[in-house]
Amino acid sequence: MHKMPQDCCLGIDTSCYTTSVACVSEQGIVFSKRTMLSVPFGGRGLRQSEGLFQHTKQLAPLLEELFETVDRNRIGAVAVSTKPIGTDESYMPVFLAGYMTARSIAAALGVPCIETNHQSGHFRAALVGHEALLGKSFYGMHISGGTTDLLSIETDRLAPYRMELLGTSTDLHAGQFVDRVGVSLGLPFPAGKHLEEIAREAVSRDVKLASSVQGLNCSFSGAESAAARLQGTVPDAELAYGVYDCLSRTFSKMLQRAPEKNGRQPVLICGGVASSGLLRELLQKRCDAELYFGKKELSADNAVGVAYIGWDRRETWKR
């Protein structure tokens, strides 16, 4: 009997606020679906234990739908994010849900389980459509609710990405800044999409929240405090626009200083906050760097990049 080729990689990612599964092949994305974790209205996040519980419940129906779409005999490997970033000490309990599920599926199918990290998955997803950067060096900015990192990145298709952290936030991350202002304005969590909609209604754009950058590190606690003091004294739309203006000025400063240390390179920007069209517009106006953005639909947490990392290593799969 003819054996079906193992020409797909399944990816699983269980980040702080999204349960996601995906499958990719040489033809591209075969399947991709995600479910947000549920955060009570007015809340600004979840405990890790609650996030782990919700991931455990949400993985099964997502995987059942995937296996209704993709023949399991085509899957040659399972890739999974096991921690937030690539350092040895990086750890969050929520990633255990995906890790244990991935190991179980790989064992049942008799295929390798390829481990990676959430941050690498974000950058690989952002490389979809920008594959010319694969195998090259570039700066990466990962801006989300849990990360605000400027990195020097070297990629290749077999080894894990080599990342050197150049700068980060010393307090609040960009997404936390957005969410705290948004929730205080009565918006649901996560607030980014809703805050941007309000920001685009701003008539005046005079609100200037402090942009704090020391070296290549940034800080948003002062800007958040300033936003809290302004709330109620200026229209919500103007305050919302001020948040994105502050983000763009902050990231522009970091990027402008980076070449002084490592030389001029392209910049790949990823993460949920980077899905904002308004932020992209402001950064492109302020920065003279060669900017690359991931596809908007792949900027928020998803398993597509994780699956592609497994696919990139297909030469190592057991046949």
Q: Which two tokens stand for residue 213?
A: 């950058």
Q: What is the pLDDT of residues 204-262, one digit of tens each?
A: 999 999 999 999 999 999 999 999 999 999 999 999 999 999 999 999 999 999 877 66
* Domain coordinates in residue numbering, the chain: 8-129+299-316, 167-293
Q: Which two tokens stand for residue 156?
A: 């290749």
pTM above 0.75, yes or no: yes
Q: What is the pLDDT of residues 187-208, one digit of tens each?
A: 998 899 999 999 999 999 999 9
Q: Which two tokens stand for residue 101?
A: 């599920």
Confidence of residue 16 (pLDDT cuts 50, 70, 90): confident
Mean pLDDT of 130-155: 92
The CATH class that applies to domain 167-293 reads alpha beta
Flag whether pLDDT at 115 surpasses 50.
Answer: yes
- Nearest CA to 270 out of 120, 165, 159 is that of 120
Flag whether pLDDT at 80 surpasses 90.
Answer: yes
Q: What is the model's pLDDT at position 2?
A: 44
Exposed, middle or buried, 293 (CB in 10 Å: 0-12/13-18/19+)? buried
Mean pLDDT of 289-316: 93
d(C-alpha 231, C-alpha 189), whole Å: 18
Higher pLDDT, 161 or 167: 167
Same fold for the domain at 8-129+299-316 and the one at 167-293? yes
Q: Are strands 8-14 and 75-81 parallel, antiparallel or unpaired?
A: parallel
The long-range contacts involving 230-234, CB below 8 angstroms and separated by at least 24 positions, are 231/184, 231/185, 234/207
Q: What is the model's pLDDT at position 3?
A: 54
Residues of the chain with pLDDT > 70: what percent?
A: 96
Beta strand segments in 120-219, E: 137-143, 148-154, 162-168, 212-214, 217-219
Asked which of 155-169, 238-252, 290-304 is least confident by mean pLDDT, the reply is 155-169
Q: What is the model's pLDDT at position 21?
A: 98
Q: Are the C-beta atoms of residues 128 and 294 closer than 8 Å to each other?
A: yes
Q: Locate tokens 């920065």: which residue?
A: 287
Q: Are the C-beta atoms of residues 187 and 195 closer than 8 Å to each other?
A: yes
CATH ID of 8-129+299-316, from 3.40.50.300, 3.60.21.10, 3.40.50.450, 3.30.420.40: 3.30.420.40
d(C-alpha 113, C-alpha 218), whole Å: 37
